[in-house]
Structure 1
Amino acid sequence: MPGGPPGADGRLADTVVVSNRGPLAFQFKDGRPVAGPVGGGLAGSLAPLLLGTGATWVASTMEAADRQASAEGLMVADGLRLEMVEPDPEVYSLAYNVVSNAALWFCHHHLFDAPRRPYNGRQWGEAWDAYRELNQQFAARVAKVAPEGGRVLVQDYHLALLGSELAGLRPDLRTVHFTHTPFADASVLRMLPTATTNELLEGMAGFDACGFHTARWAEAYGRANDELRPRHSSPEGAPHPSGSEPPTPRLFVSPLAPDPEELRQSVESSEVSRARDQLDELIGADDRSVLVRVDRMELSKNLLRGFLAFDELLESEPHLRQRVVFLAMAYPTRESLAEYVGYRNEVEALVDRVNERWATDDWTPILLDVEDDYPRSLAALTRADALLVNPIRDGLNLVAKEGPLVNRRDGVLLLSREAGAFEELGGPALELNPFDVAGTAAALAQALAMEPEERAGRAAALRRLITARAPTDWLDDQLRAAG
């Protein structure tokens, strides 16, 4: 890759990053594709680390506007070489919506409703074929653009089969897979068709190394690999040499950290300042305590139990009525799945019931905001006296790290022990069992009654732990794992 892309310093010219979503998302405006940043999530975390490095980023065109932008040569990012995979829309829909979102996400987060789901009917075979085809298309593009002996960093469960595919196409490459979700226990992986589980584990075993945010998820993968992966067949179905064990990737743990300076600049922006003023008006009385949560409207985030716990708090602690407001930022996601549409309806109905039960003329207990508004979410985090992060199961949860960094009130972090971030932050946070509504209500009462000295000590300890790692450490760990 002589010279590298414009604006690049070339330090990662031998590196190919691969993810489902790239650093740009296009929408049609007046019939033309117009670029905008992808916002948060994986791509939002990766982009600042890669811009200007000369790395190649391989991603898919997800929507019609992306496909047109790619055809017109508009997929350009400063100091990055963007390579787009352009799958057939039907193939992509099956791979992304049916397999990745409705099966693998549910599997790794232990969200299956066993009496009803997964169904694994005839459509599953077609969907899994599409998932395999999409992974093969990604592998072909990576094999074409990667330099000799290059490093390939593959991100997340959408692309779990690339390890075995690339091992066959380009054995010279040094490949790493990083899983951003939890990894399912073997008992839950068994709920997928056996052939699917086998192919999934064989695909991941083709990588040189596999990374996870916590030791817990790495150990879950290791146990599943030991328990479920066929001992005597290769990805092509041929037996491994007699007496030999199939290859196993090296495992490593690398929790992602937020960028304190980037957060500081965002919090000091005029947009966040305006949003904070607007929230202050909604909160009302200056002496009211503020409970905050910032999430997607995602089944694994456990919003229903959080609101039920707040309802129990108001019932058991009458002195808190009219003295506390729950700011809940929960923007919709995956609305193509019926479960998510139904979940949003349940959440909004529960919030209405709690507000109808307790509200007064000048006090609304729960202020639910379903708009994806980053400045407003940051403003809420700065204002929190207590931050509720109670997922059923979560690979990491960056809000648990970002909140304490931007907070200005020594806010108490209430953190689910099922969040990956608990492995780092469980000491100074208040521990939650996310399934225990009464226990969560009691923890909320404890947080709101905590003495200033204890609040300050816990907040300072959280900041020390969160800033012990830099965002670049996470990328560097993957590069080291690649060798």
Structure 2
Amino acid sequence: MGKIADQFRGRSIAIIANKPPMTPVKRDDLSVLERSVGGLTAALEPLIRELDGKWFCTTPQSKREENSLLDDLPYKVFRLELLASEISCYYEGYSNKQLWPLFHYFPSMCVFDEQDWAVYRSVNEKMADLILQNVKDGDFIWVHDYHFLLLPCILRKKNPNLKIGFFLHIPFPNQELFRLLANREELLLGLLGADLIGFHTTSYANHFKDCIRKLFPKIQQNPDSNTLTFHGRKAHIKEFPISVDFEQFNQTAATEKVQKKCNELRIAYGSELIGLSVDRVDYSKGHVERLLAIEQFFDTYPEYIKKITFIQISVPTRTNIKTYQELKKELDETTGRIEGKFSSNGWSPVHYIYRTLPFEELVAYYLLSDIALVVPLRDGMNLVAKEYIASRIHNNGVLILSEFAGAAEELTNALLVNPYQKDLVAKAIKKALDMHLEEKTSRMRSLREQVKTHDVHQWVDNYFTSFLDAIDT
């Protein structure tokens, strides 16, 4: 990180994201700031502090007082305060009822609304104005994720001297799906305002270039250098697989507190074997499909009844959107039905936890579990898979991973499965449980080396190195 900081001397860095770097929460009737562990903020904070950086985000106007705590951070946080009606259209509407389902290959879940689009564009414009009031020529603007697809182009038009990077944290769909969007051209042009456009995987980057080729055939593409020439300037396209803070999970898993918690959990569950899944409650994660695969597993291999318990940690999200409310109901009903079918004498096939766990408790669950069942129907990367690997300090455990998660392109020593085929997922569970210790150890050591050498800090370094190359060409 020091080398990157040296190259940015004299410039400032601005991070643009939908959410603030920390979230105000109540602890014993006191409001405190809580950071998501192992995330982007932890990786970027050292650089932001060293370069007098800034963080731009949106916050609800109705929570102005509690969000004022962000003013106490050692770097400046600029908040674009949004009305409830703006959040409804920009965030809950266009971002999460159009872009999110379409980019995750669920076009039938999309709700197309012209008002949502108008407000989405308006919020991007307002964010651009806030940024331009607080940065100077030569500063590096790093825009994050699907909430701000229009922002790079808006900034470029208003100040051509800015250095702009963009990174998409979700999949980018193929051109057949992307073309379903009414405002597809404007979204692509929005991204082309950046000097460097980053994706998790080569596949996503190729999908983006295919969309440009289809919708803007006159834009010159150079496949050798992964650049697009647009309005006399180059936009660089590259993949940067995001990761986790390996040492944070590795060291936490080795602490006496977490080891003790792990032992307490094993006694409490009373099962010889433990399977684990951790997800936000979202239709892209395949919760119900996973439960049906677990049911198939017990139907096919009844000898494992009373021997293994599958723990599902479901993190609440977007609870005021009807689609997510319906999914939660279906998840509850399916879990209850499977419980009723197989439970006996105090043993449960599935244990369902619906809350966000404290970091150390989450690591204890990773350490506890003999297998991790990470089988989203579609996922940009999936950091749970990497968190599990980083926590397996004894080099054991088996990761079962969906081939439709971005992480599957890196974590090839996992057992890769098609999450839509419940019989194949059931067979993969059986294979993982029957696997010899030598093979488990060999696979996990390889996976841990991959995550250790490609952690989130390396991800940041790789992006900034490529950015500096992009603006120098």
* TM beyond 0.5: yes
Taking the TM superposition and a 5 Å limit, the aligned residue runs for 1:84-483 are: 84-113=79-108, 117-120=109-112, 124-193=113-182, 196-229=183-216, 249-268=235-254, 272-273=258-259, 275-285=261-271, 288-374=272-358, 375-407=360-392, 408=394, 410-426=396-412, 428-483=413-468
Aligned to 2:224: none
Deviations 1:251-270 (A, max 9, x none): 01111221122113433557
Say whether the 8 Å CA contact 2:284–2:377 is kept in structure 1. Answer: yes
Q: What is the identity percentage for the equivalent residue pairs of Structure 1 and Structure 2?
A: 26
Whole-Å Cα distance in 1 between the matches of residues 356 and 69 of structure 2? 29
TM-score by length of 2: 0.88
Whole-Å Cα distance in 2 between the matches of residues 31 and 289 of structure 1? 39
Tell me the SS of whatever aligns to 1:35: strand
Whole-Å Cα distance in 2 between the matches of residues 30 and 447 of structure 1? 43
Change (3 A) 1:100 1:49: farther
Tell me the SS of whatever aligns to 1:292: strand
Aligned-residue offset at 1:125: 1.8
Say whether the 8 Å CA contact 1:60–1:85 is kept in structure 2. Answer: yes
Aligned-residue offset at 1:165: 0.6
Whole-Å Cα distance in 2 between the matches of residues 419 and 12 of structure 1? 39
Structure 1 portions without partners, runs of 5+ = 1-9, 233-242
Aligned-residue offset at 1:244: 8.2
Counterpart residue identity of residue 122, structure 2: E
Say whether the 8 Å CA contact 2:43–2:457 is kept in structure 1. Answer: no
Aligned to 1:239: none
Whole-Å Cα distance in 2 between the matches of residues 330 and 31 of structure 1? 26
Whole-Å Cα distance in 1 between the matches of residues 259 and 292 of structure 2? 31
Aligned to 1:64: 62
Give the counterpart of 1:17 among 15, 18, 39.
Answer: 15
Whole-Å Cα distance in 2 between the matches of residues 88 and 440 of structure 1? 44
Aligned to 1:235: none
* Structural RMSD (CA): 2.5
Structure 2 portions without partners, runs of 5+ = 1-7, 220-228, 469-473
Tell me the SS of whatever aligns to 1:17: strand
Aligned-residue offset at 1:192: 1.9
Whole-Å Cα distance in 2 between the matches of residues 12 and 440 of structure 1? 53
Deviations 1:380-410 (A, max 9, x none): 1111111111111111111111101112461
Whole-Å Cα distance in 2 between the matches of residues 127 and 97 of structure 1? 9
Say whether the 8 Å CA contact 2:25–2:34 is kept in structure 1. Answer: no
Deviations 1:381-440 (A, max 9, x none): 1111111111111111111111011124611111111111111112x1111111111100
